C-alpha cells in the first residue's frame, strides 16, 4: 500500500433513491463526487445491467464516467450467494468460478478490488489467489457483524492471509463490527412492536457496562412486560453490539484491502453508535494507507425524503476528514 488514507463511498448508500427512481446511476455518481468522494464501490447485483455477466462495454463506460468525475472506480462489490439455486447449495467449484467471473468484471471496470463475502471460505482463497494476481485485482473478504476478528472463522481467514502472503488476498473491514450501541431508528422498530422504552433502557444499561447475555436474560425474567420482540431485541443487542475493545486490527492492517465505514444516521456532524474518533486513530497509527468507503445504511429505518442519502454521505465524509486531520 503506497497511498495515503483516502475517502470514498459505496453506492449502496443511495439504495432508497435508486430503487424509487429518484436518482439514476449517473446522478448518484455526481452526488458522490459532490460529497467529496475520491472513489466508489458499486454493488454489482444492484446496479449492473446483466449481472453477473454485464456487458464489457457497459463496464468500460462506468470506468469512463468515473474518470470524467475524477473518481477511482475502486471496488466491484460481488454477491457470492451460496443459496443461488433452489435445489442445493453452490459447490466449492461454483464459488470459485463465480469469484473468477467477479475478478474479470472488476478488471474490465478498472476496479482494483473485489469485495466478496465469507461464504467463499478461507481454504478456497488458495485457488482464487493466482487469478487475483494475474489480473492484479485484490480480493477482500468482508468481515461483517456479528463476526469479529476473534471469531473462529476469522482466525482461519487470518491464518490463510498469512500463509498466502500476497497483497492480492485480504479483508474488507466493515466498521459495524465496532458498533457500540443501536441507532435510534433500530430502537424505534421495537418500540412500534410493543417493547417499552423503560425495558429497552434497562437492556442498554446492561450493554453499556459490558454485561453478559445471561444478565440481560435475568433482567427480562424479572419483568412482566416482556413479549417476543423484547426477547429478539435482547438477543440482537448482545450479539451485534458491545463497548469498544482493542483487538488485533492494527497487527493485521497489512491484510486490509479497504474499510466499509458503516453509519446509520449523522446528527450534528457525528455518528454516535461507532467510536470513529478512536477507530480512525487506531487505523492511522497502524500505518494504513488506502480507502475508507462510507457506507450509509440508515435507509433501512429512516425516510429518504426526510434524510436524503446525499446529505448523510456528505456529513459522514466531512466527519472522517475532520477526524483524520486532527
pLDDT digit string (tens) for the chain, length 326 residues? 345 899 999 999 999 999 999 999 999 999 999 999 999 999 999 999 999 999 999 999 999 999 999 999 999 999 888 878 889 999 999 999 999 999 999 999 999 999 999 999 999 999 999 999 999 999 999 999 999 999 999 999 999 999 999 999 999 999 999 999 999 999 999 999 999 999 999 999 999 999 999 999 999 999 999 999 999 999 999 999 999 999 999 999 999 999 999 999 999 999 999 999 999 999 999 999 999 999 999 988 888 999 999 999 999 999 999 999 98
Rounded Cα distance between 102 and 128, Å, is: 11
Predicted pLDDT at 3:
52
Place of cell 461483517: 144
CA distances to 119, 123, 147, 214, 223 from 153, in Å? 10, 11, 9, 24, 37
The pTM of this model reads 0.95
C-alpha grid cell for residue 239?
Answer: 450479539
| SS3 label, residue 193 | coil
pLDDT at position 2, please?
Answer: 42
The residue among 123, 114, 54 whose CA lies nearest residue 93 is 123
N- to C-terminal Cα separation, the chain: 22
> According to the model, what pLDDT value does residue 80 have?
87
C-alpha cell at position 175: 466498521
Residue 1: the pLDDT is 39
Q: So what's the pLDDT on residue 137?
A: 98
Pairing of strands 72-77, 138-143: unpaired
| The three cell numbers locating residue 93 | 467449484
Residues 175 and 259: their CA atoms lie apart, in Å, by 7
Give me the domains of the chain, ranges plus CATH numbers. 6-180+244-324 (3.20.20.150), 184-240 (no CATH)
- With CA atoms as reference, report the closest residue to 147 among 170, 113, 186, 117: 117
295, 13 in Cβ contact below 8 A?
yes
CA 291 – CA 195 distance, rounded (Å): 39
Amino acid at each position: 500500500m503506497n497511498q495515503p488514507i483516502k475517502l470514498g463511498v459505496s453506492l449502496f448508500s443511495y439504495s432508497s433513491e435508486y430503487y424509487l427512481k429518484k436518482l439514476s446511476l449517473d446522478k448518484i455518481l455526481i452526488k458522490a463526487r459532490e460529497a467529496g468522494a475520491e472513489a466508489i464501490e458499486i454493488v454489482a447485483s444492484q446496479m449492473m445491467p446483466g449481472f453477473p455477466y454485464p456487458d464489457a462495454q457497459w463496464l468500460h463506460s462506468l470506468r469512463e464516467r468515473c474518470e470524467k468525475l475524477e473518481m477511482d472506480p475502486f471496488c466491484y462489490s460481488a454477491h457470492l450467494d451460496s443459496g443461488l439455486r433452489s435445489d442445493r447449495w453452490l459447490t466449492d467449484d461454483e464459488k470459485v468460478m463465480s469469484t473468477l467471473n467477479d475478478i474479470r468484471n472488476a478488471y474490465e471496470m478498472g476496479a482494483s478490488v473485489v469485495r466478496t463475502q465469507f461464504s467463499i471460505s478461507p481454504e478456497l482463497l488458495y485457488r482464487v489467489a493466482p487469478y487475483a494476481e494475474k489480473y492484479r485485482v485484490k480480493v477482500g473478504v468482508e468481515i461483517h457483524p456479528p463476526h469479529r476478528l476473534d471469531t473462529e472463522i476469522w482466525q482461519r481467514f487470518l491464518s490463510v492471509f498469512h500463509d498466502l502472503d500476497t497483497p492480492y488476498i485480504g479483508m474488507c473491514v466493515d466498521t459495524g463490527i465496532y458498533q457500540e450501541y443501536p441507532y435510534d431508528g433500530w430502537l424505534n422498530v421495537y418500540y412500534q412492536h410493543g417493547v417499552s422504552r423503560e425495558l429497552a433502557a434497562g437492556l442498554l444499561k446492561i450493554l453499556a457496562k459490558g454485561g453478559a447475555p445471561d444478565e440481560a436474560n435475568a433482567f427480562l425474567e424479572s419483568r412482566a412486560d416482556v413479549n417476543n420482540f423484547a426477547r429478539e431485541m435482547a438477543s440482537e443487542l448482545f450479539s451485534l453490539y458491545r463497548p469498544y475493545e482493542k483487538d488485533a486490527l492494527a497487527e493485521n492492517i497489512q491484510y486490509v484491502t479497504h474499510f466499509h465505514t458503516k453509519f446509520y444516521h449523522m446528527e450534528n456532524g457525528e455518528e454516535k453508535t461507532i467510536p470513529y474518533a478512536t477507530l480512525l486513530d487506531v487505523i492511522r497509527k497502524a500505518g494504513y494507507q488506502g480507502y475508507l468507503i462510507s457506507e450509509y445504511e440508515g435507509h433501512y429505518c429512516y425516510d429518504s425524503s426526510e434524510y436524503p442519502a446525499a446529505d448523510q454521505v456528505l456529513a459522514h465524509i466531512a466527519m472522517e476528514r475532520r477526524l483524520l486531520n486532527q
